[in-house]
């Protein structure tokens, strides 16, 4: 896939994120974790054919869609960095997240995480997070970074290029048993 073909990816991802925002109501201060394999998007095996320029396109669209909503973005690295997350420094400090010392690279962290590190104002990496929602492009397994309880979100689009996309939101745990009264 050449850069001229990124127009389709841009269009499709924009539509996907618009639909996601309609279905999943995120509020200022909420966190969205994003996992993405550019290799999978172009039809290759995850981790084998990273495309940094495609990572830049994806990060730019996410920032454009969620920064105005004051939603914190966390871009998940690949398994070579133990799925650490690129976040803004201020968010990490305010959330009392433990910062780790590593800088993602295209072949160790992935194209999207590397691009996020470049585009964020003050990027840092953290090992763990408990996000309010997640988008997984290319079977990168973001579930480990979501709050309990995870609820699958179904949209009518579940592919970006060749990559599978799954969506999730979270809800508070129901506790207290049969006499408890719950809100949604």
Distance separating the N- and C-terminal Cα atoms of the chain: 43
pLDDT in tens, 46-56: 877 889 999 99
CATH class of segment(s) 36-140: alpha beta
The pLDDT of residue 3: 54
Strand partners, 33: 74, 134
Average pLDDT in the 31-41 region?
96
**Helices H / strands E in the chain, number of each:** 5, 9
d(CA 31, CA 98): 16
3-state secondary structure 131-177: ECEEEEECCCCCHHHECCCEEEECCCCCEECCEEEEEEEECCCCCCC
What is the arithmetic mean of pLDDT over 76-91? 94
For the chain, the domains span: 36-140
Q: What is the pLDDT of residue 184?
A: 65
Instruction: Classify 129 as helix, strand or coil.
Output: coil
Residue 179 pLDDT level (bands cut at 50, 70, 90): confident
Q: Model pTM greater than 0.75? A: yes
10 Å CB burial of residue 180 (0-12, 13-18, 19+) is: exposed
Q: How confident is the model at residue 174 (pLDDT cuts 50, 70, 90)?
A: confident
């Amino acid at each position: 896939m050449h850069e001229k073909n990124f127009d389709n990816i841009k269009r499709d991802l924009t539509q996907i994120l618009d639909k996601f925002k309609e279905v999943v109501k995120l509020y200022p201060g909420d966190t969205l974790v994003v996992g993405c394999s550019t290799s999978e998007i172009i039809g290759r095996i995850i981790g084998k054919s990273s495309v940094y320029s495609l990572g830049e396109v994806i990060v730019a669209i996410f920032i454009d869609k969620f920064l105005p909503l004051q939603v914190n973005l966390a871009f998940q690295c690949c398994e070579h960095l133990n799925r650490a997350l690129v976040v803004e420094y201020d968010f990490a400090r305010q959330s009392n997240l433990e910062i780790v010392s590593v800088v993602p690279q295209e072949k160790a962290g992935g194209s999207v995480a590397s691009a996020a590190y470049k585009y964020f104002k003050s990027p840092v990496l953290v090992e763990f997070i408990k996000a309010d929602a997640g988008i997984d492009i290319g079977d990168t397994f973001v579930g480990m970074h979501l709050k309990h309880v995870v609820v699958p979100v179904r949209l009518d689009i579940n592919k970006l290029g060749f990559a599978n996309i799954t969506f999730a939101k979270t809800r508070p745990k129901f506790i207290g048993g049969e006499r408890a009264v719950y809100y949604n």
